[in-house]
Amino acid sequence: MPTVIVDGQEIEIGADERLNCIEAARRAGVEIPHYCWHPGLSVVASCRMCLIQAGSRNAETGEVSMIPKLVPGCQTPVKDGTVIVTDSDLVRDSRARVEEALLIDHPIDCPICDKAGECLLQDYHFEHGQSERRADIHAFTSRRRDVGPTVTLFVDRCIMCTRCVRFTREVSGTAELMVSARGAKEEIDTFPGFPLENKLAGNVVDLCPVGALGDKDFLYQQRVWFLKKSANVCGGCSAGCSIVTEHNQDTVYRLKPRENPHVNKWWICDEGRYGWHHLHDPSRLVEAGRREADGFTAIEWADVVTQLRDDLKAAGRLAVAVSPQLTVEEAWMLCAVARSIDPEAFLAVGHVPTIGDDESFPGGFTIRGEKVPNRIGVETVLGLFGAVAEDGTVPGWNELLEQAQKDDVKAAWVTAGYPTPDGSWCDEQTAAAFDGLDCLVVQDLFDSPLSARAHWRLPAAGFAERAGTWVNCGHHAQSFEQAIRPPAGVWPEGRLFWNMLGRQGLYDPSGVRQQIAENSAAFAALAGDLPATGVDLRLQQLAPN
Amino acid sequence: MKPNDPGITWLEEKPLGLAERLYLPLFVQGLTTTSRHLVSKKNTVNFPEERPAIGNPLIYRGVHRLNRDEEGRVKCVACFLCATACPAHCIDIVATESPWEDREKYPESFQIDELRCIFCGMCEEACPVDAIELTSLLDLTGKSREEMIFDKEKLLSVYDMTKDAEPMKSAELGGTL
């Protein structure tokens, strides 16, 4: 195994690994500061913050010979015997000089900068900068320029790391951003008439190590140090990107990508990034209601638990749409509840909205056309309950609509939870298929033509309000935590199903997950604590137990 | 620590001497103190007809004010540092983009719950632009809790009321501008 010596500490790296000094040092627990280098982008070595001393140790004599000048750590690959020195006076002095140079033209308007608190310029200056400033401090307001519909550029805050420019060239493949002028007059800009307008544009804001690129959606909404972070999974499409939900006092303020080499690497699309506004839409359903003569009457959840079961039982044959928005745990419990009410209940996957085809980008990122997060997970759960047609396929929404129109089906339970505030996921014609049922239960975020026909209208939880496991289009399962509490009066689906199953105490998603994993080969990989990046369900099935 | 711990030194009360047992000397001693205060200068004032002396008004920690800049606009840049520093969580700010060319961000709403405030002065310390200051106003009254939540206009009016008597904090007093 090749050995690298970082500040006198020997670490071993894989024989086939191609690491640079920053990555190798990180393995040794040494953080080399850097601005322009990003693992997902090409190397330009322009910021000079990662300058270190490097050399090599002769394998035979053990003699160390160093390169006589500082080298950029991001651009210097390591091999067996590479010696990295990051804590010498020379390196420290160089970092302080770089910081000083960057701050000469920086507006130092941290009090009004949205990046303050998570800014690398702040962090590195605190850690590596010098306490005295030789240039005059002249605080000023940064010039501001819109570079696109979602992103704004604070020109003078920029340190010219060009991460954003490289992102649009290498990952989104749209190349809207460029560097105009040269030397001290360098600026990030767009080509005239071609604003930064692509489906991954929001990522440049995350990439920006300073406060130069601002997200208009988040601008001035909240200071970052007030935000609490929860590891979540995006529900926008079946790609299931790992995200961090940043929230405060049960209000989501922004979503950011979470690094996951198996799914989304470092990126998310704008559709997912801004796809949380429906959570705080005032038109959300927040009350469990039961149809009386004149519309819905509010009903306590404790009564829902008992009376819903009685109503469905009294109606007769039951058909259930298990929404692909539900987690694996919730879907499993819903199926168990349905079968306990009617052992012959017809189970089908709920509506799967699809918009266009999958869209791939040069950087390897793909936005899926299937706009639900857990179709495969729900299908697998239905398989466990034997809800499989003769040809081996799992019945879907269309099969459910057919069933609902049959005479012997008397009751239907449709879980939905689609993030469409206008309720457009279900049109009048589709909803008419449910006319004539004795009992229709609709569980959704918003009113729709379907909920207008319901006998029971129950509110659902949004993606950040539930905990559980989703299985993405590549059979990759990720567990996530609940970020915020749902609005007052809303029980997440899991809590209702848990209580309808007669279980005691609080809903425990991981307990349910263990139970599912123990009882099925398809979900065996979900046993135990899952890594933050998730597990592949298929790979684990092949592994010997 | 238990009562029989060797580290404890137990002290016995001294037995009373003759003078103490006679009671009269102590009686005279107490009466002397009382009479001295009867004739000495009084610190009590007839508030609110009379105002108490408060020392240097520039460093007194009374009711807050929001300062104005040269053009009469609110000086605050809505950085939230006062709200972050506030140990009583009594400051609530809603920030937005400013309508002015030369300013980027300003507070759309700025509220201080004066009943919740503990008048520690941390907001004043934290402010990077000397926008929030504590004045020497000490009689803070209101008829309802709502009335005691001071909004931006109210805080600016406190500035208008006190700006002549108490100029903005100068550099000598630790101000940055």
Q: Identify the structural domains of chain B with CATH numbers, from first to last.
A: 57-169 (3.30.70.3270)
Cα distance between residue A417 and residue A48, in whole Å:
49
* Residue whose tokens read 């998603």: A509
SS3 content of chain B, % helix, strand, coil (to 5): 30, 15, 55
The SS3 assignment for A321 reads strand
CB contact under 8 Å between B104 and A225, yes or no, is: no
The SS3 assignment for B102 reads coil
Cα distance between residue A11 and residue B120, in whole Å:
52
Task: With beta carbons less than 8 A apart as the criterion, state whether A171 and A267 touch.
Answer: yes
Instruction: Give the distance, in angstroms, between the CA of residue A511 and the centroid of all CA atoms in the same chain.
Output: 23
Task: With beta carbons less than 8 A apart as the criterion, state whether B74 and B107 touch.
Answer: yes
CB contact under 8 Å between B81 and A111, yes or no, is: yes
Cα distance between residue A36 and residue A541, in whole Å:
41
CA distances from A121 to A102, A145, B24 (A): 9, 21, 77
Per-residue pLDDT of chain A (545 residues; tens, 9 = 90+): 899 999 999 999 999 999 999 999 999 999 999 999 999 999 999 999 999 999 999 989 989 999 999 999 999 999 999 999 999 999 999 999 999 999 988 998 899 999 999 999 999 999 999 888 888 877 778 899 999 999 999 999 999 999 999 999 999 999 999 999 998 899 999 988 999 999 999 999 999 999 999 999 999 999 999 999 999 999 999 999 999 999 999 999 999 999 999 999 999 999 999 999 999 999 999 999 999 988 899 999 999 999 999 999 999 899 999 999 999 999 999 999 999 999 999 999 999 999 999 999 999 999 999 999 999 999 999 999 998 888 889 999 999 999 999 888 999 999 999 999 999 999 999 999 999 899 999 999 999 999 999 999 999 999 999 999 999 999 999 999 999 999 999 999 999 999 999 999 999 999 999 999 999 989 999 999 999 999 999 875 555 54
Residues in chain A whose Cβ is within 8 Å of chain B: 109, 111-112, 141-142, 144, 219-221, 223, 225-226
CB contact under 8 Å between A223 and B84, yes or no, is: yes
Q: Which of A52, A48, A2 is nearest to A22 (CA)?
A: A52
The SS3 assignment for B133 reads strand
B81 touches A at CB < 8 Å:
yes
- The residues, ordered by sequence, that sit 6+ positions from B5 with a Cβ below 8 Å of its Cβ are none
Nearest by CB: A141 against B79, B80, B104: B104
Cα distance between residue A100 and residue A96, in whole Å:
6
Q: Which domains does chain A have, with CATH numbers?
A: 3-87 (3.10.20.740), 106-119+134-226 (3.30.70.20), 289-542 (3.40.50.740)
The amino acid at B132: I
pLDDT tens for B26-57 read 999 999 999 999 999 888 889 889 888 888 88
B126 touches A at CB < 8 Å:
no
Cα distance between residue A211 and residue A118, in whole Å:
9
Per-residue pLDDT band at B175 (split at 50, 70, 90): low
Task: With beta carbons less than 8 A apart as the criterion, state whether B169 and B133 touch.
Answer: yes
SS3 content of chain A, % helix, strand, coil (to 5): 30, 20, 50
Residue A452: count of CB within 10 angstroms of its CB: 14
Partners of residue A144 in chain B, C-beta under 8 Å: 104
Per-residue pLDDT band at B58 (split at 50, 70, 90): confident
Cα distance between residue A292 and residue B14, in whole Å:
86
CA distances from B104 to A515, B96, B111 (A): 54, 9, 20
User: What pLDDT, on a 0 to 100 scale, did the predictor assign at position A140?
Assistant: 77
- The residues, ordered by sequence, that sit 6+ positions from A119 with a Cβ below 8 Å of its Cβ are A110, A113, A209, A210, A211
B102 touches A at CB < 8 Å:
yes
Residue B135: count of CB within 10 angstroms of its CB: 20
The SS3 assignment for A89 reads helix
Instruction: Give the distance, in angstroms, between the CA of residue B159 and the centroid of all CA atoms in the same chain.
Output: 17
User: What pLDDT, on a 0 to 100 scale, did the predictor assign at position A540?
Assistant: 57
Cα distance between residue B34 and residue A110, in whole Å:
60
**Structure token digits, residue A437:** 């049922």
Half-sphere exposure of A84 (CA within 13 A, CB side): 35
Pick the residue from chain B with its C-alpha nearest to A217: B96
Tell me, yes or no, if the pTM score tops 0.90: no
| ipTM of the modeled complex | 0.83
User: What pLDDT, on a 0 to 100 scale, did the predictor assign at position B44?
Assistant: 87
* Residue whose tokens read 């130069």: A212
- DSSP-assigned letter for residue B9: P
The SS3 assignment for A203 reads helix
Task: With beta carbons less than 8 A apart as the criterion, state whether A223 and A117 touch.
Answer: yes
**Which of A80-115 are b and which e, b meaning 16 or more Cβ less than 10 Å from the residue's Cβ?**
ebbbbbbeeeebeebbeebbbebbeebbebbbbbbb
Pick the residue from chain A with its C-alpha nearest to B106: A112
The SS3 assignment for B125 reads helix
Instruction: Give the distance, in angstroms, between the CA of residue A360 and the centroid of all CA atoms in the same chain.
Output: 18
Partners of residue B89 in chain A, C-beta under 8 Å: none
Cα distance between residue A112 and residue B105, in whole Å:
6
pLDDT tens for B70-94 read 899 999 999 999 999 999 999 999 9
Nearest by CB: B128 against A111, A221, A223: A111
Q: Which of A417, A412, A458 is nearest to A435 (CA)?
A: A412
CB contact under 8 Å between A141 and B103, yes or no, is: yes
- DSSP-assigned letter for residue A225: G
Q: Which of A279, A371, A330, A352 is nearest to A467 (CA)?
A: A330
Cα distance between residue A142 and residue A139, in whole Å:
9
Q: Which of A6, A158, A10, A153 is nearest to A86 (CA)?
A: A6
User: What pLDDT, on a 0 to 100 scale, did the predictor assign at position B172?
Assistant: 57
pLDDT tens for B14-25 read 998 888 889 999
